């Protein structure tokens, strides 16, 4: 009896493999090619309390593109016209408006863009079909909780003085392992990476860095701290489901 069960398991695995290959061949025969990159996600600025939907799409040159939601309603239609139609588009990104919560609460944003599968389709200049299916989630990562530098205020309107020019500054935060406590749905969160952005006006400097999920500290380069002035930093959490949550702070050297 046990041998028969094992044999049936092997046969089932082989049948599943054959079916998967058959589906792949059928999809190829239909001429549908996936985009090289296809992402649809929410981004939350936890400091400013605003939320928007973003897309990142890249692939072979195309002349039209559409995104359809789980309710079979069109989210976006792009038709390339004129001289640009002869050239085609490849990379296409968009970022929606991000009104503050007192104007548009996050619940309303999530209602506009329900969870589920979204089909991203296009047509190449040669008439080949492009299609990718992405999953949009309402589970947002919690914001990073900063350990250092120690700042008195969350707002950049009145930044905390942390020392004279030349002070070494290391940003440290707790690892994010949970969903946002008030925005979106509760759920499991796995961090894909952290992103750090730095900015100061005088002298004008900007910097962007991507960090692996196990790194929760970043030393600010001396170029940002060698002179008196205000430095703004942001740490963004990108979850495995694609959604992002960012937290901002400012400090002053003088």
Mean pLDDT of 137-146: 98
pLDDT: which is higher, 158 or 108: 108
* Boundaries of domain holding 99: 32-136
pLDDT: which is higher, 5 or 89: 89
pLDDT of amino acid 24 = 40
- Confidence label for 152 from pLDDT (cuts 50, 70 and 90): confident
pLDDT in tens, 6-60: 334 434 444 444 444 344 444 444 557 999 999 999 999 999 999 999 999 999 9
Share of the chain above pLDDT 70, in %: 88
Choosing from 95, 112, 136, the residue where a domain stops is 136
Share of the chain above pLDDT 90, in %: 82
Mean pLDDT of 76-86: 94
Mean pLDDT of 66-85: 94
CATH number at residue 149: 2.60.40.10
pLDDT of amino acid 30 = 57
Mean pLDDT of 184-212: 97
Whether residue 200 is found in the same domain as residue 155: yes
pLDDT in tens, 231-249: 999 999 999 999 999 999 9
Query: pTM of the prediction?
Result: 0.85
Whether residue 55 is found in the same domain as residue 131: yes
What SS3 string covers the chain?
CHHHHHHHHHHHHHHHHHHHHHHHHHHHHCCEECCCEEEEEEEEECCCCEEEEEEEEECCCEEEEEEECCCCCEEEEEECCHHHHHHCECCEEEECCCCECCCCCHHHHHHHCCCEEEEEEEEECCCCEEEEEEEECCEEECCCCEEECCCCCCCCCCCEEEECCCCCCEEEECCCCCEEEEEECCCCCCEEEEEEEEEECCCCEEEEEEEECCCCEEECCHHHHCCCEEEEEEEEEEECCCCEEEEEEEEEEC
Choosing from 136, 156, 176, the residue where a domain stops is 136
Number of structural domains (the chain) is: 3
Mean pLDDT for the chain overall: 89
Whether residue 129 is found in the same domain as residue 39: yes
């Amino acid at each position: 009896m046990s041998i028969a069960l094992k044999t049936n398991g092997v046969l089932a695995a082989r049948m599943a493999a054959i079916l998967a290959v058959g589906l792949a061949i059928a999809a190829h025969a239909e001429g549908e090619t996936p985009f090289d990159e296809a992402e649809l996600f929410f981004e939350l600025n936890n400091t400013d309390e605003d939320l928007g939907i973003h897309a990142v799409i890249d692939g072979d040159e195309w002349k039209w593109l559409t995104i359809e939601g789980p309710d079979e309603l069109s989210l976006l239609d792009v038709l390339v016209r004129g001289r640009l139609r002869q050239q085609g588009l490849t990379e296409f990104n968009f970022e929606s408006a991000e009104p503050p919560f007192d104007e548009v609460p996050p619940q309303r944003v999530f209602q506009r863009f329900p969870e589920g599968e979204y089909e991203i389709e296009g047509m190449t200049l040669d008439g080949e079909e492009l299609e990718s299916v992405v999953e949009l989630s309402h589970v947002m990562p919690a914001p990073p909780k900063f350990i250092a530098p120690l700042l008195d205020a969350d707002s950049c309107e009145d930044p905390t003085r942390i020392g004279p020019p030349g002070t070494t500054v290391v940003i440290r935060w707790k690892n994010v392992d949970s969903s946002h406590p008030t925005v979106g749905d509760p759920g499991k969160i796995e961090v894909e990476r952290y992103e750090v952005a730095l900015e100061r006006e005088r002298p004008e400097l900007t910097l962007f860095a991507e960090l692996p999920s196990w790194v929760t500290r970043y030393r600010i380069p001396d170029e940002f701290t060698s002179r008196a002035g205000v430095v703004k930093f942001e740490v963004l959490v990108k979850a495995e489901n694609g959604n992002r949550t960012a937290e901002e702070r400012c400090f002053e050297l003088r």
